[in-house]
Amino acid sequence: MSTDVQPREPLRLPGWLKFIVVFLLVVGLIASFIWLMGAAATRRWEQFAADLRAKGQPVTFAEIEAQRTVIPDEINSAKIIEALADELNKLGAPPIDKWVLTFGSAATEDMGNGVPRYVLNASTKFRDQHAAILERLRPIMHMPAGRYSVDYSAPAIQILLPHLSRIRAAGKLVHLDTLLAAADHRAANAVDNVVLQLRLADTLAEEPTLISRLVQIALEGVALRSLEVALLAGELTETDVQRLQAEIDERLKKDSMRPAVLGERAYFVGACDDLLTGRLSAPGLAMVTQPPGAPAWLSFILRLPIWLVRTNQIKGAEMLSQLVDAGDDAAALSAAANNIDVETPKLPKTQVLTKMLMASVSRAIVLHHRITAELRCARAALAAERFRMRTARLPNALDELVPALLDEVPLDPFDAQPLRFKITDDGVVIYSIGENRGDDGGDVALRPKLGQRSMDVGFRLNPKPNQRPMDVGFRLNRLDRRGIVILEDPPPADE
């Protein structure tokens, strides 16, 4: 007996199940492709970071911190600022007399044409009220450097720098005391205060953030204004001039932008890492951290693809490395900053993180060049003052100072040409052409905003941020044109 074997019908999946299978296969392929892209981008990033480290460049804040100078507490000037935190936070808080130099709303110190007595009285009263702070700041003058207690292990966007406002307040108070010392013909006190202001700026010398560098620049700029007033007030000793010259020389030897640009790159790298780990929420880069107590699945779904973050991380780090590689070369720094500002808006949409996280650095580089120019002008002015002490006259050109007092005529960082020199009715001005890169004849004095009234004697009222000299430089008067005139005029009636 034979039995016919009936062929089996092929297994037929329901339509909905077929859809699920195909969907899962497609999702799996896409996920695998994305994973492979992420793995490849991660390998590229790791190689890029390894190349930087091989050149001795730190990549993260932790690596920067490991390379920073260790400063024992007993000689750490930053510890004094931190101990004065409460007092400095309150310094200059309202109500305050508007005529107080540096702190007041209506008075600033262009003292070449005299200073009203009511301004000196208000300023002296304010200084005396805060004399205890000044005394606690004095030891900084003898300390080599500072290092603040900053938590760089926090998410990059959450690194807090509250000490910056405090050190600015301290610098303003010492600057005020310098002006009063100069007006009172206390030259030795004025010199000590200039050194103290420069040492205050030194507390930020290795801090790896761009904003810290900008505050350091501001502090150094105020110190140089103090120095100009100290020389305006009268004759310093040659020992004092040499001391000040040595302080400025030390600053001109340093690659002062390096910590800031290393920190800017570390900030970018850290922000990308925080996006990958979920320490930073991703949608729209709202710059907020994961809320406390949020479920784990929320952190997971808010993360951006690894390949996207890593490719942005590489691109951003490459761009910022241009600044690191430029060192302290003025032309290279300017070219790198300009390239970053030009290139960033042109990046493709896939570089959205780079576009959002990349800071515009051009202004910071201009300010860096500006303070470099001011330091070089001040250095040359001190050499000119030593020349006057030896010859009883100011030089007729900077070349007269070479090689006895200057190795060479310093260069203007804005155009790499020798600093300019101009003989004036009062003495001389040594100057840089400044950021407009045009020679404005050595006009380095503050001017009121167009249409703004100033006192006839030249004492400036209500200084504005746009009250900038066209050129950048240092004024040095002849000995017979020195001295600060105390004006007995009453305050303006409408003030």
Cα–Cα distance, 201 to 223 (Å, whole number): 9
Sequence-distant (6+) residues with CB within 8 A of 485 are 113, 114, 115
- Please state whether beta strands 420-423 and 427-432 pair in parallel, antiparallel, or not at all (unpaired): antiparallel
Cut 0.75: pTM above it? yes
DSSP string, 262-304: HHHHHHHHHHHHHHHHTSB--GGG---BPPTT--HHHHHHTPP
User: Whole-angstrom Cα distance, residue 3 to residue 5?
Assistant: 6
Helix or strand or coil: residue 444?
coil
pLDDT at residue 394 in the model? 98
How far is the C-alpha of 399 from the C-alpha of 408, rounded, in Å?
A: 8
Query: What are the structure tokens assigned to 53, written together?
Result: 């480290």
Q: What is the Cα–Cα distance from 409 to 278, expressed in whole angstroms?
A: 54
What span, in angstroms and rounded, lies between the C-alpha atoms of 87 and 170? Answer: 10
Per-residue pLDDT tens listing for the chain (495 residues): 555 656 666 666 677 766 776 677 777 777 676 668 888 999 999 999 999 999 999 999 999 999 998 999 999 999 999 999 999 999 988 889 999 999 998 877 678 788 999 999 999 999 999 999 999 999 999 998 899 999 998 888 788 899 999 999 999 999 999 999 999 999 999 999 999 999 999 999 999 999 999 999 999 999 999 999 999 998 899 999 999 999 999 999 988 899 999 999 999 999 999 888 877 765 545 443 344 444 443 444 446 788 999 999 999 999 999 999 999 899 999 999 999 999 999 999 889 889 988 988 999 999 999 999 999 999 999 999 999 999 999 999 999 999 999 999 999 999 999 999 999 999 999 999 999 888 989 988 754 333 333 333 333 333 444 455 589 999 999 999 999 999 998 888 765
Alpha carbon distances (Å) from 139 to 136, 197, 225, 337, 459: 7, 12, 22, 38, 33
Cross-strand pairs, 427: 477
| C-alpha span between 373 and 357 (Å, rounded) | 30
Helix 187-202, helix 238-252: angle, nearest 10: 10
Distance CA 337, CA 379 (A): 27
**What pLDDT, on the 0 to 100 scale, is given for residue 446?**
57
Can you give the pLDDT at residue 294?
Answer: 44
Classify residue 281 as left (phi > 0), alpha (psi -120 to 50) or beta: beta
280 strand-pairing partners = 289
Contact 236, 178 (CB under 8 A): no
Q: What is the pLDDT of residue 414?
A: 95
Residue 258: which of 359, 339, 327 has the closest Cα? Answer: 327
30: CB partners within 8 A, 6+ apart: none
CA-closest candidate to residue 259, choices 57, 8, 94? 57
Looking at residue 76, what DSSP letter applies? B
- Alpha-carbon distance of 44 to 55, in angstroms, equals 17
Q: Are 375 and 220 in contact (CB under 8 A)?
A: yes
Q: What are phi and psi of 305, to 5 degrees?
A: -60, 145
